[in-house]
Amino acid sequence: MALYDDLTNQAADVQKCMRCGSCQAVCPVYSVTHAEADVARGKIQLSRALLEGRLEPTPHLSALSQRCLLCLACIDACPSGVATCTDIIGLRAAAARGGGLPLAKKLLMTGFAHKPMLEKGLGLARSLQPLAFKRGVSGYQPRFPLGLDLRRIYPAIPSRTFLSTAGEYVKQPRAELKVAFFAGCMTNYIYPGVGPAVVKLLAARRADVVIPKEQHCCGFPVLALGDPATAREMAASHVKLFDGLGADYLVTACGTCGESFLEHYPELLQDDPDLYARAKALAAKVRDISSLLAELPAPGELLPLPWRVTYHQPCHLGRGMRVGDTPADLIRAVPEIDFVPLADPDRCCGGAGSFQLFYPGLSREIAGPKLKDIRATGAAVLVTGCGACRNQLEGLLGGEDWNGKVMHTAELLAMATP
Amino acid sequence: MREQKVLHELQKVLGKDNVIYRPEDLYLYSYDATPDVPREVPAVAVTPESTDQVAAVVNICRQHRLPIFPRGSATNLSGGTVPQAGGLVLLTLKMNRILELDPDNLTATVQPGVIIQHLNDASAPHGLIYPPDPGTVAVATMGGSVSECSGGLRGLKYGVTRDYVTGLQVVMADGSVARFGGKTVKNVTGYDMVRLFTGSEGTLGLITEIIVRLVPAPADRRSMLASFTELAAAGEAVAAIIRAKVIPATMEILDHTTISAVENYAHVGLPQEAAAVLLVEVDGLPEVVRQDAATVERLLKQCGGQVRLAADDRERDALWAARRAALPALARLRPTTVLEDATVPRSRIVDMLVAIGEIAKRHDLLIGTFGHAGDGNLHPTILTDESNGAEMARVHEAVQEIFTIALSMGGTLSGEHGVGLAKKRFLPQELGDGGVAAVRRIKQALDPENIFNPGKLVPGEE
């Protein structure tokens, strides 16, 4: 049985937790709620209780298991080396198998797993957006609560997706390498401008860019909500799709998508030797766009951008793909840019995919220190490398009348590229 | 029926958000960081937000004869916060405000749920520190730390928690609110109730406000690390430093087992063949630090130590990485970590390390020992597996022997972790019948109905 299909696969790891509570120091959710159920130690002990038969997978237990950002901070803080996030996904899967997943999450999960349904849903949402939302300069604000945060801005859903407009094979004269681009949902549906920026940056480095049309959601939202079986099908289809392209690299513009290829696909496919081997080979080619840019020779002089800029490090880029200071260094290298680092750039913004939709109040509180830090830099442009972080920070800062602009690292660098 | 009534009364006083009653949530208040202690699930848990609410909870519990188990971050290692089935867990985490920082009187007044590190963060801009620094400083609460009288790495020079607590507000067993001590350095009005409550492990009353002394942050510090091929040489170095009238802020020792574990885990450049490593830090005024560091370096070398000096903060961090990695490195060797804190007079450190080595061999156990050589407080860390009954039986025997040998050297069962559930049955061994009877009478006088953390610290009639 593969990793998430049976909670007993997590038993040995769960036993490693010595309940020292070190995770309390770094957990963004716990810092707001102080509830044991919200910190890794509590979640690991819930798994232990399920394994020992001391608790049943009730809907309430499932709800508790969902209250985690999967920000990976506790993994680094754990003295015993417990794979907390893996265990929490395992707990969610076990709770979901027990029938504990609420309807809204099931619907969301179905949406991500089925591309036509997701696209129909987004199309419908786009046409209904003006009814439920007030149009502002930077996006929409909800007219009614609808379970959403009235004080934040939600982006207008673009009418055309990135994949519907992008060429499938962008060839360069005298190409020196071939890069496959996995766009991801946030780039494809919400921030389609990131796609052409990535293509431009790669083209400037004499790379042919392959963008297969059949790509879909990376599957992490589905896995994170507790459905490893569907996530496995999504993983298999992507491994088959990208493995055959003969690309030198597979580039992503979102830490979560990158982590899917790097970590979760091999994990999910470990019972299928052929797919597992192909997933591992593919994982070795995966790079975040920032890392790949740093690896390849620079294409020449950059254009100056005389702005004050700061950078927020997405959890799955920093603690996940371990890009380190690379994105910040790339930004600093742009002429005339006034780069002011955040006080705590790695701290989670509280967005965490669908977390901000399901727990808007909590998500806003978690974001509090981050918003303060961003304002303290006096930056006019906030750069980050993840669509979900961007969505969260743009929404919350926009709702606070912040006048700055949020953009993807690739967009900023593309603007500085002649 | 009775439970419904209690819940209703608690909700009325505290508000619905401050009463936890679902079984899934309550299970999570059945443990702390102590291994090998049975889990019992409380009937209810509450998160009061004020002293008045705490007093109201005490009154409700008295009426319904519900025992109260106070809990902060539950990082303690004595089972001190593990409840009994049917009891009430009182969480201090929502009482987490620093009420006052008073740089003129060098004091801070805090609520019990304040995290120790947060107090230090707030003191830093004033050039002040709160010196007690248990390993859990980043997560442990002030309330828990005062109740357990935590020690830490700086005990030798700076003392322990009891040396810093000058005033307490306590909700007593009859629901009244008492104030003991205050901000003044001198206070001899009545019994020293502040010291009685500090380290009382929540058995005498509920601490709702704490006044602590702060001290000026040292202007300078210097760290060095010395490795020894003979354990005895490391012991001689510790003695020589103290004899030279140098009191380092920190003087930590790692034994051979710990050194190999640390090196395998963190690759910090420790010599794998060393019998012991000493990490020494002196702090104070720059001139004093310079002199003390030179003396320490000379003595370490005289005793045969290979010395590495930290030239700057970055190098200091590199040296300290070895000490910080001690527990994580050991903890990863086996599923269960039993961390003891038997303490001996500083001059007996080497004898104690040798004795622990023999105990490990005799019971075929893996024990790594590190700890505070400067104050004689060692952490024999038994690496084992809870699910292995035969091995756990040997662990229990080894623990008993560690206590016996520590006492025979004029030491104590517990330097800083407290008695709680884990060491209660050993108490007569150290205090004798007369001592235990006195402890019991204090408990009966202040908590006649035994509602505060029953079953902890005080040996019962069993």
One-character DSSP codes across A219-274: SHHHHHHT-HHHHHHHHHHHHHHHHTT--SEEEESSHHHHHIIIIIHHHHTTT-HH
Residue type at A84? T
- Residue among B161, B130, B24, B148 at smallest CA distance from B75: B148
Distance CA B353, CA B368 (A): 10
Looking up tokens 């005498």 gives B204
Nearest-CB residue to A79 (from B29, B115, B331): B331
DSSP letters, A366-394, are HHHHHHHHHHHHT-SEEEES-HHHHHHHH
- Residue among A288, A307, A292, A329 at smallest CA distance from A382: A307
Q: Which of A13, A36, A39, A60 to mutate to test binding with chain B, by most B CBs within 10 Å of its CB?
A: A36
Residue A245: partners with Cβ closer than 8 Å, 6 or more residues away: A178, A180, A210, A212
Distance CA B359, CA B365 (A): 8
Nearest-CB residue to A46 (from B24, B136, B386): B24
Amino acid A159: pLDDT: 80
Chain B contact for A254 (CB, 8 A cutoff):
no
Q: Where are the alpha helices (DSSP H) in A311-408?
A: 315, 326-332, 355-358, 360-377, 387-399
- Residue among B368, B366, B355 at smallest CA distance from B405: B355
Nearest-CB residue to A21 (from B75, B91, B336): B75
Q: Where are the alpha helices (DSSP H) in B149-252?
A: 155-158, 193-197, 231-243
Cβ atoms < 10 Å from Cβ of A398: 22
Instruction: Tell me which chain A residues have a C-beta less than 8 angstroms from the C-beta of B93.
Output: 34
- Residue among A1, A12, A208, A185 at smallest CA distance from A93: A1
The helix (H) or strand (E) run that includes residue B165 is strand B165-171
CA-to-CA separations, A255 to A178, B125, B277, in angstroms, rounded: 21, 37, 42
Structure token digits, residue A41: 């130690």
Amino acid A128: pLDDT: 61
Chain B contact for A33 (CB, 8 A cutoff):
no
Window from A303-307, A349-353, B201-205, B310-314 with minimum mean pLDDT: B310-314
Q: What is the pLDDT of residues A311-339, one digit of tens each?
A: 999 999 999 999 999 999 999 999 999 99
In a 3-state reduction of DSSP, which class is residue A272?
Answer: coil
Interface of A with B in 77-96 (CB under 8 A): 79-81
Q: Where are the alpha helices (DSSP H) in A6-58?
A: 11-16, 28-33, 40-51
Q: Which residue of A has its CA nearest to B20?
A: A35
Cβ atoms < 10 Å from Cβ of B449: 13
Q: Which residue of B has its CA nearest to A56?
A: B24
On the question of pLDDT at A415 being above 90, the answer is yes
Instruction: Tell me which chain B residues have a C-beta less than 8 angstroms from the C-beta of A81.
Output: 328, 332
Distance CA A33, CA A362 (A): 8
On the question of pLDDT at A112 being above 80, the answer is no
Asked if the Cβ–Cβ distance from B28 to A36 is below 8 Å, we say yes
Length of chain A in residues, anyone?
A: 418
Do the beta carbons of residue A191 and residue A58 sit within 8 Å?
A: no
Distance CA A322, CA A311 (A): 15
Instruction: Tell me which chain B residues have a C-beta less than 8 angstroms from the C-beta of A46.
Output: 24, 27-28
CA-to-CA separations, B120 to A31, A279, B75, in angstroms, rounded: 17, 48, 19
Asked if the Cβ–Cβ distance from B47 to A60 is below 8 Å, we say no
Q: Packing angle between helix B313-324 and helix B256-266, nearest 10 degrees?
A: 120
| Phi, psi (deg, nearest 5) at residue B343 | -130, 140
Q: What mean pLDDT is reported for chain A?
A: 90
Distance CA A163, CA B234 (A): 68
- Residue among A396, A412, A397 at smallest CA distance from A309: A412
Amino acid A150: pLDDT: 64
Do the beta carbons of residue A410 and residue A289 sit within 8 Å?
A: yes
Helices H, strands E: what count in chain A?
23, 11
Cα R_g (chain A), whole angstroms: 21
Distance from the B91 Cα atom to the nearest Cα atom in chain A, whole angstroms: 10
Beta carbon pairs, A and B, within 8 Å: 75
Residue spans of chain B under pLDDT 70:
1, 461-462
DSSP letters, B339-379, are E---B--GGGHHHHHHHHHHHHHHTT-EEEEEEEGGGTEEE
| Phi, psi (deg, nearest 5) at residue A385 | -115, 30
| Phi, psi (deg, nearest 5) at residue A321 | -80, -5
Q: How confident is the model at residue A155 (pLDDT cuts 50, 70, 90)?
A: confident
Do the beta carbons of residue B431 and residue B419 sit within 8 Å?
A: no
Chain B contact for A159 (CB, 8 A cutoff):
no
Does residue A408 come out as left (phi exceeding 0), alpha (psi in the -120 to 50 range) or beta?
Answer: beta
What residues are paired with B98 via a beta bridge? Answer: B110
Q: Which of A8, A10, A14, A20 to mutate to test binding with chain B, by most B CBs within 10 Å of its CB?
A: A20
Distance CA A234, CA B162 (A): 59
Distance from the B233 Cα atom to the nearest Cα atom in chain A, whole angstroms: 31
- Residue among A414, A416, A395 at smallest CA distance from A152: A395
- Residue among B336, B142, B306, B316 at smallest CA distance from B222: B316
Distance CA A85, CA A89 (A): 6
Do the beta carbons of residue B71 and residue B91 sit within 8 Å?
A: yes
Chain B contact for A21 (CB, 8 A cutoff):
yes
Distance CA B169, CA B211 (A): 9
Q: What's the whole-number mean pLDDT along residues A383-394?
A: 96
Chain A contact for B267 (CB, 8 A cutoff):
no
ipTM of the prediction: 0.93
Please give the span between the terminal C-alpha atoms of chain B, in angstroms, as a whole number.
31
Q: How confident is the model at residue A149 (pLDDT cuts 50, 70, 90)?
A: low
Q: What is the pLDDT of residues A163-181, one digit of tens each?
A: 999 888 989 888 889 999 9
Distance CA B367, CA A345 (A): 40
Residue type at A240? K
Greatest C-alpha distance within chain A? 65
Asked if the Cβ–Cβ distance from A61 to B139 is below 8 Å, we say no
How many Cα atoms within 13 Å fall on the side-chain side of residue B222?
A: 18
Amino acid B267: pLDDT: 87
Q: A147 or A67: whose pLDDT is higher?
A: A67
On the question of pLDDT at A127 being above 70, the answer is no
Q: Which of B28, B115, B148, B384 to mutate to test binding with chain A, by most A CBs within 10 Å of its CB?
A: B28
Task: Calculate ∠ Cα A55-A59-A62, nearest 5°.
Answer: 75
Interface of B with A in 133-152 (CB under 8 A): 136, 138-139
Structure token digits, residue A164: 């519907």
Instruction: Tell me which chain B residues have a C-beta less than 8 angstroms from the C-beta of A64.
Output: 24-25
In a 3-state reduction of DSSP, which class is residue B152?
Answer: strand
Structure token digits, residue B105: 């009187």
| Phi, psi (deg, nearest 5) at residue B449 | -95, 5
Do the beta carbons of residue B428 and residue B440 sit within 8 Å?
A: no
Nearest-CB residue to B94 (from A16, A34, A80): A34
Amino acid A1: pLDDT: 64
Q: How confident is the model at residue A362 (pLDDT cuts 50, 70, 90)?
A: very high
On the question of pLDDT at A144 being above 80, the answer is no
Asked if the Cβ–Cβ distance from A25 to B75 is below 8 Å, we say no
Amino acid A401: pLDDT: 84
Chain A contact for B118 (CB, 8 A cutoff):
no
What residues are paired with B281 via a beta bridge? Answer: B223, B250
On the question of pLDDT at A137 being above 70, the answer is no
Q: How confident is the model at residue A208 (pLDDT cuts 50, 70, 90)?
A: very high
Q: What's the whole-number mean pLDDT along residues A122-133?
A: 63
Q: Which residue of A has its CA nearest to B334?
A: A16
Cβ atoms < 10 Å from Cβ of B210: 31
